[in-house]
Copies of this chain bind each other. A is one copy, B any other.
Amino acid sequence: MIDFPYLQSITRKTSSKIIMLVADGLGGMKNPSTGISELEAANLPNLDKLSKISTCGVSTPVLPGITPGSGPGHMALFGYNPIKYLLGRGVLEGLGINAKIDGQDVAARGNFCVTNESNVITDRRAGRLSTDSCKELVKLLNTIEIPGFEFEVYPVMDYRFVVVIKGMGASHEITETDPQLEGSEILQSNPTSDKGASTALAVNMFTQEAIKLLKHNKSKANGIIMRGFSSIPTLPDFCDNYKLNAASIAGYPMYRGVSGLLGMKVLECGQEFTDELATLKKHFQQNNYDYYFLHYKPADSAGEDGNFQAKIKAIETLDSHIPEILELNPDVLVLAGDHSTPSYLSSHSWHPVPFLIKSDVSQSTPDIKFNETSFQQLGSAGSIPAEHLMLLVLAHAGKLHKFGP
């Protein structure tokens, strides 16, 4: 939670309603050949209009120059220090497929792989195993019994799976069995502290049993490698800390999972943004919650694909939905992004991300437009760490008392 020890003493419960729309990978980059970014090239009449009546600025997800994954990106937007509350790869992957991960469970990401007669990995992806074959092989893995532990295996896609290790002695303090390069043997897991001793042993036994079981299957896969052993960290409760009755609306399981971990009520909804909007409208009109996290995915996907035009389109689509969100008349509407995903880089990036907060106490700037440069140069909130955004949001919602006498 935000590094401000008096937070709980200054938050107050009010009737005001907040909608926080997170556009994944919102920020972009000026393409060096044209000198304009996706947001600058897009036609965004609704967002431009909204910007002119909002408090605008840019947020740095982690630190200057640091490119965050979606985990740290979202944690920061929710006011959690993204370095302190880092969710492990296994946990995030598990949340992304709705795996059941409880308190002390350890989750890991796994690959089916191919090894040669000398036990050397020749293909870390088992010939890009099909998802159907993956499902079949996962059934085999789920028959393995290791005394004192339960290994629950879930197929993900292609050659990838998730293992959730349950048991009294389960600990994530162990090393990976995935050497992350071909030409190496499958590694032995070793404990990195006393706590990890029995889990490392169990992981090695599980790997050996898996190799036996995979000997005679139809695919090329004859081994497994695991990495990102992690447990769910102790996380302060979002609702308690902010005195909010918070709900999350996200089509993608990972974002549902993360928001659920923080204590938000994860609302049922379909995969598409239109499904999410229908869910939002229903609950908003029924006055069910006072904070809604609403996730918009397409801008990130287009950026990851390196598709400048598709990213423009994704933002323009978002723009077209702004009026129906405004029609709900929330006291506070926030639009933010977890990180930038410039199509020029085809990946997440470190660049500051535009945000706006519309409420009846917003500080607006007449000539501002909805893009990175305009928000950086003209936004009344300036440049802030993403971790501080929730404070600004609560302030705009009238949900913060004065600090100190």
Whole-angstrom CA separation of A365 from B405 in the bound complex: 36
Check A400 for interface membership: any CB of B closer than 8 A: yes
Residues of B within 8 A of A395 (CB): 64-67, 349-350
Q: Which residue of B lies closest to A405 (CB)?
A: B89
Residues of B within 8 A of A350 (CB): 391-392, 395, 400
Q: Is the CB of B6 within 8 A of A83?
A: yes
Whole-angstrom CA separation of A70 from B400 in the bound complex: 16
Check A12 for interface membership: any CB of B closer than 8 A: no
Residue total for A at the interface (Cβ-Cβ under 8 A): 70
Question: Would you list 6 pairs from A and B whose C-beta atoms are within 8 A, ordered by A residue?
Answer: A64-B384, A65-B395, A68-B404, A69-B405, A88-B405, A350-B391
Q: Is the CB of A400 within 8 A of B65?
A: yes
**Residues 347-359 of chain A, each 1 if its beta carbon lies under 8 Å from chain B, else 0:** 1111110000000
Check A210 for interface membership: any CB of B closer than 8 A: no
Q: Is the CB of B404 within 8 A of A86?
A: yes
Q: Which of A375-405 contact B (CB under 8 A)?
A: 376-378, 380-384, 388-396, 400-405
Residues of B within 8 A of A361 (CB): 29, 32, 344-345
A83-B4, A376-B382, A402-B348 are contacts. A360–B65 as well, Cβ < 8 Å? no
Whole-angstrom CA separation of A12 from B29 in the bound complex: 23
Residues of B within 8 A of A401 (CB): 67
Chain B nearest CB from A257 CB (Å) reads 12
Whole-angstrom CA separation of A118 from B184 in the bound complex: 79
Beyond the given pairs A5-B83, A30-B363, A377-B378, 17 more chain A to chain B contacts, judged by CB atoms under 8 angstroms and listed by A's residue number, are A4-B63, A32-B360, A32-B362, A35-B366, A58-B382, A64-B381, A64-B389, A65-B391, A67-B395, A67-B400, A69-B404, A69-B405, A70-B405, A82-B404, A93-B405, A228-B405, A376-B382
Check A373 for interface membership: any CB of B closer than 8 A: yes
Q: Is the CB of B66 within 8 A of A4?
A: yes
Check A203 for interface membership: any CB of B closer than 8 A: no
A5-B83, A383-B383 are contacts. A65–B402 as well, Cβ < 8 Å? no
* Number of copies of chain A assembled together: 2
A30-B364, A363-B30, A382-B352 are contacts. A405–B92 as well, Cβ < 8 Å? yes
Check A87 for interface membership: any CB of B closer than 8 A: yes
Check A141 for interface membership: any CB of B closer than 8 A: no
Q: Is the CB of B383 within 8 A of A65?
A: no
Q: Which residue of B lies closest to A345 (CB)?
A: B361
Check A155 for interface membership: any CB of B closer than 8 A: no
Check A330 for interface membership: any CB of B closer than 8 A: no
Check A62 for interface membership: any CB of B closer than 8 A: yes
Partner of A64, one of B228, B347, B349, B388: B388
Residues of B within 8 A of A390 (CB): 65
**Residues 6-21 of chain A, each 1 if its beta carbon lies under 8 Å from chain B, else 0:** 1000100000000000
Whole-angstrom CA separation of A59 from B32 in the bound complex: 24
Q: Which residue of B lies closest to A399 (CB)?
A: B65
Residues of B within 8 A of A348 (CB): 402
Whole-angstrom CA separation of A236 from B122 in the bound complex: 38
Q: Which residue of B lies closest to A390 (CB)?
A: B65
